Structure 1
Amino acid sequence: MAKDSSFDVVSKVDLPEVSNAVQQAQRELTQRFDFKNSKSSITLENDKIILISDDDFKLKNVVDILESKLVKRGISLRALDYGKPQAAAGDTLRQEVKMVQGIAQDKAKMINKVLKDSKIKVVSSIQGDELRVSGKNKDDLQAAIALLKKEDFGIELQFINYR
Structure 2
Amino acid sequence: MPSFDIVSKVDLQEIDNAINQTRKEIDQRFDFKGTHNEINLEKDAIVLLGADDYKLDAVIDVLKGKLVRRNVSPKCLDYGKKEPASGGAVRQRVAIVQGVSTEKGKEIIKFIKETKLKVQAQIMDDQVRVSGKKIDDLQEVIQAVKGHDFDIELQFVNMRA
Match of 1:142 in 2: 139
Alpha-carbon offset, residue 104 of structure 1: 1.0
Match of 1:14 in 2: 11
Deviations 1:70-116 (A, max 9, x none): 11011111111111111112221101111111111111111111111
The structure 1 residue matched to 2:88, chosen from 80, 86, 91, is 91
Query: 1:53, 1:153 → 2: CA distance?
Result: 30
Match of 1:49 in 2: 46
Following superposition of structure 1 onto structure 2, how do residues 77-156 of structure 1 map, counting pairs within 5 Å?
A: 77-156=74-153
The structure 1 residue matched to 2:67, chosen from 59, 66, 70, is 70
Deviations 1:43-84 (A, max 9, x none): 101111111111111111111111110110111111111111
**Which amino acid counterpart does residue 110 of structure 2 have in structure 1?**
K
- Uncovered stretches (5+) of structure 2, i.e. residues with no partner: none
Query: 1:70, 1:135 → 2: CA distance?
Result: 35
**Which amino acid counterpart does residue 50 of structure 1 have in structure 2?**
V
**SS of match in other structure, 1:126:** strand
**Which amino acid counterpart does residue 37 of structure 2 have in structure 1?**
S
Query: 2:54, 2:104 → 1: CA distance?
Result: 34
Query: 2:3, 2:119 → 1: CA distance?
Result: 9
What is the TM-score of this pair, normalised by structure 2? 0.96
The structure 2 residue matched to 1:30, chosen from 7, 16, 27, is 27
Give the percent of matched residue pairs that are identical in Structure 1 and Structure 2.
51
**SS of match in other structure, 2:159:** coil
- Uncovered stretches (5+) of structure 1, i.e. residues with no partner: none
**SS of match in other structure, 2:116:** coil
